[in-house]
Chains A and B, each alone.
Chain A
Amino acid sequence: MDQIIETSQPEMGGRATPKQATWGTFTTWHQFVQAHELRIIPLVGVVTLLILWEAAPALGWVKPIFTSSPSRIVQAAIWLFAHGLWNDIVVSLSEFGLGFGLALLFAIPVGIVLGWSRRLHALFDPFITALNATPRVALLPLIILWLGIGLESKVAIVFLGALFPLLINTIVGVQTLDTNLVRCARAFGASDRQILVTVALPTSIPFIIAGMRLGVGRGLLGVVVGELVAASAGVGYMMNRAGSTFQTDKVFVGVLLIAGFGYTLTEILKRIEAHVSMWRPQETE
């Protein structure tokens, strides 16, 4: 029990350090807590979860082989990092990065064209709708058949996963035209191209970023499922091997890596979103 508190305590202390700079301006704990309430509440939630997670197997409520525990996961992580986990991470990151990058490069220009041209949109819409409705995982056997079990098949599945939310959001973004702004631009004699550049594209940026956020989730799904099904390296591959030999701790290391990566990327995109929509009224989301 004593150990438990020790393992969770340093983390809280570590996170709290930057705030200590402002500590001097608060006269009491109470004021400090009030001022940082919305940061403290999530921290309390996370720490409580960690404590319960550590305590449950230690008190014999659950079997550690199923739930593992934070301390076991840390130990497993240390061991894994010393035994080639970096390589798995690099493989998974490359798969994700290449697939997601290609999806961006493809979906944004194509989405702009399809959003702008009603005829082209009418031509391609059935394919987009059908493919978007098909779980990409269903295409995995085909993709593996075509591209093998190496990097390429995973890049392809990430690409296909991230492509549709990006493409559909870009199309909708370009199509969402404020009729007043268009009428105004037309009254100044604007050409179609000028309306695209000055009205449609700025309108579509928040949509594209929302599409990226969705795409991150779909892309990560692609990496993990792809690696679980057929791979020779990668975080998903490591998890699959560990899982089939009942090494729960290592599986959890993989889960946390993926969750952490997805969370970080989503947060970065939120920041970008906030930055590019400075012109918006303060939202109370």
Chain B
Amino acid sequence: MASLELRQVAVEYTMKRTRQPLLALRNISLSVAHGQFVALVGPSGCGKSTLLNVVAGLQPASHGEVWLDGTPVVKPGRNRALVFQSPSLLPWRTVLRNVTYGLELQGAPPREAAQRARRYIDLVALNGFEESYPHELSGGMQQRANLARALATDPELLLLDEPLAALDPQMREVMQAELQHIWLQTAKTALFVTHLISEAVFLGDTVVVLSARPGTVRAVVPIDLPRPRTGQLRRSPRFRQLEDTIADLLQTELPTRLSSI
């Protein structure tokens, strides 16, 4: 049984200034099996983040339906957790109290929340930094704390909106491996938005390529690379081949955009 199912989802905005309707997403149908890691790639502004917001329940779909484990998604819920590009940690709380934050909002008893938080702080290798404030951490550490906060609520579906985009390239590769490691240990279903093709190939069980706005599913590319994937794998012919395939799919989206500039 598919864990997450999107049926002909479309999202239309009304632009504030011109009051013109804007179709951000159209006819998105997607099935994500339980425990799968799906990476979403697409040109800028194709509605990747919008799609995550809809699945998170932060934003309604104009048409179509989102089903999660047999229930329609209408508002945010405990079975999903969203990780943003900016770590969005509360700056006045320590790492520990940031990681308990999600649990606290969901009404978990403080002692249990602290216990669970410590477990996930260990998992993301931030032990020793429980009492540090976010500004005392590096970007990568902040993002790990952010990830721990999402994981601590024990969601069935992890929604990751370019969580590594703010990191420098070296750190980013380290964190990709780290993220894979954490994901392998927790076995959550994950929807991961990224701009980087290599990141999508490295992390995804499948890569979903979206078209330019209005975004729709252009292709679903299964990634048949063995796990755990390593740094060396990035240089393997199969990895490069998959990258090229996805790049070609994205390329066809570009000319219309370039001519419109």
Contact = CB atoms under 8 A, between A and B. Distances in A.
> Are these two chains actual partners, yes or no?
yes
Interface of A: 178, 180-181, 183-190, 194, 198-199, 202, 277-281
B153 A188 contact: yes
Question: Is chain A's interface secondary structure helix, strand, loop, or mixed overall?
Answer: helix
B77 A181 contact: no
Given A184-B82, A188-B81, A198 B90 contact: yes
B239 interface: no
Nearest 5 CB-CB pairs, A to B?
A187-B82, A180-B88, A184-B88, A281-B135, A279-B92
Nearest to A189: B76
Contacts of B81: 187-188
Given A186-B76, A187-B81, A281-B135, A181 B90 contact: yes
Given A187-B76, A190-B105, A280-B135, A180 B84 contact: yes
Contact of A189 (B92, B106, B135): B106
Nearest to B133: A279
A184 B56 CA distance: 11
B27 interface: no
Interface string B69-101: 000000111101110101010111100000001
B76 A188 contact: yes
Question: Is chain B's interface secondary structure helix, strand, loop, or mixed overall?
Answer: loop
A186 B135 contact: no
A281 B136 CA distance: 8
Contact of A279 (B58, B93, B104): B93
Interface residues on B, range: 20 to 34
B58 A194 contact: no
B117 to A, nearest CB: 14
A209 B220 CA distance: 55
A195 to B, nearest CB: 9
A260 B122 CA distance: 52
B84 A183 contact: yes
B215 interface: no
B42 interface: no
A188 B106 contact: yes
Given A183-B84, A188-B76, A190-B105, A202 B58 contact: no
B102 interface: yes
A181 B76 contact: no
B135 A279 contact: yes
A186 B90 contact: no
Contacts of B90: 181, 198-199, 202
